[in-house]
């Protein structure tokens, strides 16, 4: 098919690349020039959509920068996303498109937004809402191996346009996913609640970690493994390893936006505020532990990993930065170790929170000797390693003290 991607950043470009790799004729448009697209870029939206059958919109629906999640947000007034970029593009497409063209919006929005904010600007073309379940750092793989494909139509029926989108994706999917068709509002709900279920799940397993630290004689992994394997009533194994809190550009902000929706709909409770507050208090407890070790051993504090997860440079919603915020609030200072965020050190000696384990293919890590494939830098003997994921052993880094955070049954 002839496809246009409007918005060719870190989400749109990799997704459109996969469309091209599947044999489709793809062009793109973005206000920012980059080398991410493997397809021709046009100078204007009008040029990009000319004679295109499918037009995808992958532009931001941002929050205020102070709501990112890398600093506390639970105390802030809830806010909806900013939809102005989407609205402006829908309006411009109305000037250049016709009923032979199908526009597909993939950006995340709150339930009710398409019906309230968007469709009045989409009168000269056909419209589908189709949010993606994709994580930064694995966009290409997630695009062609989704857990499900979510498609929203006005009344929730399997329209001809919905079938066109399904048939289009079947040319590229590698895992035979489920195709879920619902109303625009149901599709909005599926996407954002999928993310917030993950946030709640991570918050709950990290609460078990807090209990282990406060109570003693508990290895959090024994508890979470038992729960993760209890798939009759409560859960499966995903996101069932306690450690760092939920992070990234999507999940924290989605909980923040749902706080706004709860207030707007007068639900009478703020479940999502509680999720965000627990995320922050859990980070503060980690910071308190770092401060305690730094004081006891008279050492500086480092956090190994600044980006929100290994292998990417993105710091939006970084849990490492949130922990660092609390370290500073408690009177300490902190440095980060992460080559992809340009936080470089030849060697370090101190109290080191192991937020990331360096990926084995991490080409930017400067690793030395037995520390190869484990660390971004050389860690000197005598350092205190706070292993929040509890996967390191003394053989990985001899002559250092390893603390398995969340396992108070024993210290190794």
Span 268-303, pLDDT tens digits: 878 888 888 999 999 999 999 999 999 999 999 999
Instruction: Give the tens place of pLDDT for each residue, 104-113.
Output: 999 999 999 9
Secondary structure E strands in 21-70 = 25-29, 54-57
* Among 276, 371, 290, CA closest to 324: 290
The CA distance from 338 to 311, in Å, is 9
The DSSP secondary-structure symbol of 338 reads B
> Domain 2-182 belongs to what architecture?
3-Layer(aba) Sandwich (3.40)
pLDDT in tens, 373-398: 579 999 999 999 999 999 998 888 88
- Cα separation, 189 vs 110, in Å, equals 7
Q: Per-residue pLDDT averaged across 35-53, rounded?
A: 96
**Residue spans per domain, the chain:** 2-182, 195-404
pTM of the model: 0.77
CATH number of 195-404: 3.40.50.720
For 109, the token pair is 């929005």
Chain segment 117-168, per-residue pLDDT in tens:
999 999 999 999 999 999 888 999 999 999 999 999 999 999 999 999 999 9
Structure tokens at 195: 């993310």
From the list 245, 182, 237, the residue with the least C-alpha distance to 210 is 245
CA-to-CA distance for 92 and 46, rounded, in angstroms?
A: 8
């Amino acid at each position: 098919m002839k496809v246009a991607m409007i918005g060719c950043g870190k989400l749109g470009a990799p997704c459109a690349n996969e469309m091209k790799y599947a044999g489709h004729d793809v062009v793109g448009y973005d206000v920012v020039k980059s080398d991410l697209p493997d397809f021709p870029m046009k100078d204007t939206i009008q040029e990009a959509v000319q004679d295109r059958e499918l037009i995808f919109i992958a532009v931001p629906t941002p929050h205020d920068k102070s709501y990112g999640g890398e600093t506390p947000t639970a105390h802030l007034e809830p806010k909806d996303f900013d939809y102005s970029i989407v609205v402006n593009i829908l309006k411009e497409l109305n000037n250049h498109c016709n009923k032979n063209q199908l526009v597909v919006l993939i950006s995340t929005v709150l339930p009710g937004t398409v019906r309230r904010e968007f469709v009045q600007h989409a009168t000269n073309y056909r419209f589908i809402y189709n949010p993606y379940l994709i994580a930064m750092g694995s966009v290409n793989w997630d695009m062609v191996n989704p857990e499900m494909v979510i498609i929203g139509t006005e009344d929730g029926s399997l329209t001809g346009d919905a079938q066109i989108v399904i048939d289009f994706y079947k040319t590229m999917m590698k895992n035979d996913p489920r195709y879920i068709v619902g109303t625009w509002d149901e599709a909005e709900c599926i996407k954002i609640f999928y993310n917030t279920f993950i946030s709640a799940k991570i918050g709950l397993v990290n609460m078990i970690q807090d209990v282990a630290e406060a109570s003693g004689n508990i290895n959090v992994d024994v508890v979470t493994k038992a729960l993760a394997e209890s798939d009759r009533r409560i859960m499966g194994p995903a996101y069932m390893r306690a450690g760092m809190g939920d992070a990234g550009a999507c999940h924290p902000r989605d909980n923040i936006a749902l706080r706004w929706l709860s207030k707007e709909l007068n639900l009478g409770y703020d479940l999502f505020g509680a999720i965000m507050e627990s995320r922050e208090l859990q980070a503060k407890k980690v910071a308190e532990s770092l401060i305690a070790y730094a004081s006891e051993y008279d050492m500086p504090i480092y956090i190994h990993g600044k980006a929100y997860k290994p292998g990417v440079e993105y710091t939006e919603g970084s849990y490492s930065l949130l922990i660092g915020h609390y370290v500073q609030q408690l009177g300490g200072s902190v440095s980060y170790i992460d080559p992809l965020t340009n936080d470089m050190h030849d060697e370090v000696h101190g109290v080191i929170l192991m937020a990331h384990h360096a990926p084995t293919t991490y080409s930017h890590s400067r690793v030395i000797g037995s520390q190869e494939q484990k660390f971004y830098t050389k860690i000197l003997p005598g350092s205190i390693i706070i292993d929040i994921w509890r996967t390191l052993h003394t053989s990985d880094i001899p002559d250092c003290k390893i603390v398995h955070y969340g396992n108070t049954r024993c210290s190794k």
